[in-house]
Structure 1
């Protein structure tokens, strides 16, 4: 005889795969089902290793919906060969997203090419790539979601640093082709973000909403410094309320890159995340 079903996770909650990176895809599916979680955000590397079609079947059989796939992007290469390779990789990412049944492909746009100081030129190359990729993605039922990253990543990872910059790019294209990601870890510091959220809502551009906290001191390397919900200085509830006021009705993905979490039992991490979400986001 089976036991009682687990209580459902809060409505709209999604667990991004990176928060419990220690779990394999089958462990992720089983762990989410055991915790009453019904939505997940996936990453391309483990999906490719498992096989996109097999991964789609796995999550579907576990009763899970894929809220986003991360990541495409890295579109700033100035040379023809680099540009062609980036476009091909992003087309493959779109196809993988479609197989998984998600309508959102998160883009990390790319940093400055080696030796370059031309931020404006790099952003224009992103726009050029979106002009080619947007119709292709829409034809697969997928929207490209530009994620602005904190300015500390501008040199090597993402020349799009603010929500305003992301919208400036996205609004060149139909909303069904290109939207934006609102990630609290990257945007909490920006005193223009409230107005930009209104702008994003008015044009229907919010494609994804992600949550992590900002804690100091940042670790060496900074990429893996995201904090557990409630451990830092981000007003997570404020973001959730403003995103909802802007008309966003999709999932809130908890995406935390943190080796201390990865060293723990995945089920314990997920239980803690759910508790923190209830106390600091809802």
Structure 2
């Protein structure tokens, strides 16, 4: 399954997240990436568990691909002690899975406000408390936690960390080798302080992952499933890539798109289109 040019040329940093082409079973996704010369992929816990963590790790390893991230851990904001304990146990399992897959990056989505709770600052502190418990466990297994800020429209139900500055305020309480941040164009394109945050993250060695998706309006399936294919929306994708490069980031550029219209199409076609759009709008 190996090819000689997979990790060279203009696709050398490209990674495609599994959810971008969720219609493809993992073996077909791996084969498609190898055929295109794309060296990386991001994985999701649900489908990987269904396939088997060890089997998935072997499949990817034998193909010569790199797992750039595992999504996702997090959801730390519950105030109930039993719920918090369950979340930490699940995150330890996520760390173990990331280590088993050979990736050093576990993406964290912090969690929203519990029902009836209006204290968002306190919820963010519970995120920091959970990271403090989880970070040493992850470091022992060679995994860095990557806090991902999500668009503010997610703050109530999915992620109380909305800006790169907020993510860094938590991450910087810990060594950079333990906790970094995710720069995701879909979530940060609107923020006039994003460039400042990227520079700050780069200076501290905190950029653990750089992810791409475009913002299209009207949102086709609400905010969650409304990510656009590269070049279909209003995000300056190349500008973001230049910012993370200038900040010293040299890692993978991972395309993560949740969009039912893409999922309804032929997966191999979507992969090829994604690579072409990456060349046109990102490089």
Residue in 1 that maps onto 2:244: 243
1:126 corresponding residue in structure 2: 127
1:32 positional shift: 1.1
Matched, 1:165 2:172: no
1:232-271 equivalence runs, <5 A = 232-271=233-272
Q: How big is the shift at 1:164?
A: 0.3
Task: Look up the match of 1:187.
Answer: 188
Mapping for residues 187-226 of structure 1, pairs under 5 Å: 187-226=188-227
CA RMSD of aligned residues (A): 1.3
Tell me the CA shift for residue 26 of structure 1.
1.1
Structure 1 residues 101 and 259: CA distance shift in structure 2, 3 A: same
For residue 136 of structure 2, give the secondary structure of its aligned residue in structure 1.
helix
The correspondence of residues 40-59 of structure 1 with structure 2, limited to 5 A, is 40-59=41-60
Give distance in 2, aligned partners of 1:6 and 1:265.
24
Match of 1:135 in 2: 136
Residue of structure 2 in register with 1:90 after alignment? 91
* 1:27 positional shift: 1.1
Q: Where in structure 2 are the equivalents of 1:52-131 lying within 5 Å? A: 52-131=53-132
Q: Distance in 2 between matches of 1:6 and 1:251?
A: 17
Using the alignment, how far apart are the partners of 1:18 and 1:103 within structure 2?
Answer: 19
Q: Offset of 1:21 from its aligned partner?
A: 0.6
**How big is the shift at 1:220?**
4.1
Tell me, in whole angstroms, the C-alpha distance in 1 between the residues paired with 2:103 and 2:131. Answer: 19
Name the residue aligned to 2:177: 176
CA contact (8 A) 2:227 2:258 kept: yes
Partners of 1:203 and 1:39 lie apart in 2 by 25
Deviations 1:49-106 (CA, angstroms, capped at 9, x unpaired) = 1111110001111111100000000000101100000000000000000000000000
Question: 3-state DSSP class of the match of 1:199?
Answer: helix
- The normalised TM-score by structure 2 is 0.96
The runs of at least 4 aligned residues of structure 1 exceeding 4 Å deviation read: 4-9
Secondary structure at the counterpart of residue 69 of structure 1: strand
Distance, in Å, in 1 between the alignment partners of 2:222 and 2:13 is 32
Distance 1:96 1:252 in 2: 22
Maintained 8 Å contact 1:74/1:110: yes
User: Aligned equivalents of 1:107 and 1:5: distance in 2?
Assistant: 34
Contact 2:12 2:39 survives alignment (8 Å): no
Q: Is the 8 A contact 2:79 2:114 kept in 1?
A: yes
Report deviation, 1:19.
0.6
Counterparts of 2:194 and 2:222, CA distance in 1: 26
CA distance in 2: counterparts of 1:24 and 1:117, whole angstroms: 41
Matched, 1:16 2:25: no
Contact 1:6–1:35, Cα closer than 8 Å, also in 2: no
Structure 1: tracts of 5 or more residues without a match: none
How many residues are matched? 280
Q: Distance in 1 between matches of 2:44 and 2:132?
A: 24
CA distance in 1: counterparts of 2:86 and 2:213, whole angstroms: 31
Deviation of residue 135 (structure 1)?
Answer: 0.5
The CA deviation at 1:5 is: 6.6
Alpha-carbon separation, structure 2, partners of 1:155 and 1:136: 29
1:110–1:159 CA contact under 8 A, matched in 2: yes
